[in-house]
Amino acid sequence: MSGRVSRVVVDLDAIRHNVRRLIETSSPARVMVVVKANGYGHGAVRVAEAALEAGAHGLCVALVQEGVELRRAGIEAPILVLSEQPRDQVGELVAHGLIATAYTVAFIDALADEARRRDVVGQEVHLKVDTGMNRVGARPDAVVELGGRVLARSPQLSLGGVFTHLACADDVASPVTADQIRRFDAVIDDLRHAGVDPGWLHLANSAGAIAHSDARRDMVRVGIAMYGIAPDPSMDAMCATLRPALGLVSRVSFVKTVNAGESISYGHRHRFDRTTDVATVPIGYADGVPRRLSAVGGEVLIGGRRRPIVGVVTMDQLMVDMGDDRCAIGDEVVLIGRQGDEVVTANDWGTALGTIGYEIVCALSARLPRDYSGETPSDSQ
Ligand SMILES: *Cc1c(COP(=O)(O)O)cnc(C)c1O
């Protein structure tokens, strides 16, 4: 598979640069970088290593397995699992020294029981409070009880922090963020009045860290911005100093002339009104290039120019209209990234497809090899 011409290229220098910028922006809050979903498609271990080199305090993941992958790669930094996990994962979570998120008494007890079984003292727990996202988390009025429960299960457990997740931070003018912050602060007041030290406070995702200074408390949890992608295109200007880390590249595999009146690809949905050269590129929807990208104006870069994808994207290949320009088998194709003066971003695809850059990079499948540039001398062998 490593011989494949279609590949994801990740610039680790861009990751380091972005982490340093986010540390400056968020200071004095510490920066935890989010590497769930294989580092948003960039490769969790390599991104995590680069981010830690650049000064990130720790890592966040969605699943115990994601944390275990990082530990198996030798990473010893703090790793926070962002939600409660299935009961059969708790043993692994504790065994690998991952930081747990909890929002129910039952899960706190399961953690404490597991820690006791394994002679672990001080298993770190962060309480997650739902201040409006309505995904997971404790109701604000339940948090004092949960804090008390963690303390009651000392010394097996220790309360390391309390956090919440912002639902609308990428819509900078939305009043929801201030409302969530107010609810969070009320919960923290309640905890302190009850004599519970809440530990580290954190609310901000990338958009919160960049656009909402009052959401930066002791720590921020940045994902998308570390990859150099704005949380929303409306935040592009605020993210101008960040560098996209991911490129999606391939090479022309076949070229032919198609006559006026002929049609192309499944369903013959595109018909040529003039004779033109068409390049075939060996990448398709099984790699994460959406089938309907051509229907929404999707373009790739060949020879330093934007070229329209024509016909539906197939599972393994797509076709590009070269117009009057020539290209040859082996010519470089950039699907996401820069070529000459032109650039196509993950958010360009997202906007065209009615989604966000997050979904585009996360969908790049395991069939695509990941190549890394900007390696430190010690790991470039
Ligand atoms: C995914 C996630 C983040 C990171 O969000 P970005 O918008 O990518 O910065 C932060 N916190 C939680 C709880 C998450 O699930």
- Burial label, 136 (beta-carbon count in 10 A; 0-12, 13-18, 19+): middle
Neighbours of 65 (CB within 10 A): 12
Known catalytic membership, residue 266: yes
Which residue among 128, 266, 358, 372 is the active-site one?
Answer: 266
| Ligand 1 center–CA 59 separation, angstroms | 11
**pLDDT digit string (tens) for 226-276?**
999 999 999 999 999 999 999 999 999 999 999 999 999 999 999 999 999
For ligand 1, atom 3, the nearest C-alpha belongs to: 205
CATH superfamily membership of 246-344: Lyase, Ornithine Decarboxylase; Chain A, domain 1 (2.40.37.10)
For ligand 1, atom 6, the nearest C-alpha belongs to: 223
Which atom from ligand 1 is nearest to the alpha carbon of 83? 13
**pLDDT digit string (tens) for 334-360?**
999 999 999 999 999 999 999 999 999
The pLDDT mean for the chain works out to 97
Which of 59, 82, 356 for a ligand 1 pocket mutation test, highest count of atoms within 8 Å of Cβ? 82
- Burial label, 219 (beta-carbon count in 10 A; 0-12, 13-18, 19+): buried
Cβ 223 under 6 angstroms from ligand 1? yes
**pLDDT digit string (tens) for 102-125?**
999 999 999 999 999 999 999 999
| Ligand 1 center–CA 58 separation, angstroms | 14
What distance in Å separates the CA atoms of residue 328 and residue 243, rounded to the nearest whole number? 30
Bridge partners of residue 270, in order along the sequence:
264
pLDDT value of position 375? 73
Cβ 222 under 6 angstroms from ligand 1? yes
CATH code for the structural domain at 12-226 = 3.20.20.10
DSSP symbol at 18: H
Cβ 339 under 6 angstroms from ligand 1? no
Cβ 18 under 6 angstroms from ligand 1? no
Q: Which amino acid type is present at position 25? A: T
| Ligand 1 center–CA 187 separation, angstroms | 21
Q: Residues spanned by CATH 2.40.37.10 within the chain?
A: 246-344
pLDDT value of position 380? 42
What distance in Å separates the CA atoms of residue 127 and residue 64, rounded to the nearest whole number? 17
Counting Cα atoms < 13 Å in the Cβ hemisphere of 273 gives 0
What distance in Å separates the CA atoms of residue 16 and residue 14, rounded to the nearest whole number? 5
Q: Residues spanned by CATH 3.20.20.10 within the chain?
A: 12-226
Which three-class secondary structure state does DSSP give residue 82?
coil
CA angle, residues 297, 302, 304, in degrees to nearest 5: 105
Name every residue whose Cβ is closer than 8 Å to that of residue 289 and which is 6 or more positions away in sequence.
283, 313, 318, 335
Counting Cα atoms < 13 Å in the Cβ hemisphere of 173 gives 1
Given a cut of 60, is residue 377 above it in pLDDT?
Answer: no
pLDDT value of position 376? 66
Name every residue whose Cβ is closer than 8 Å to that of residue 366 and which is 6 or more positions away in sequence.
none
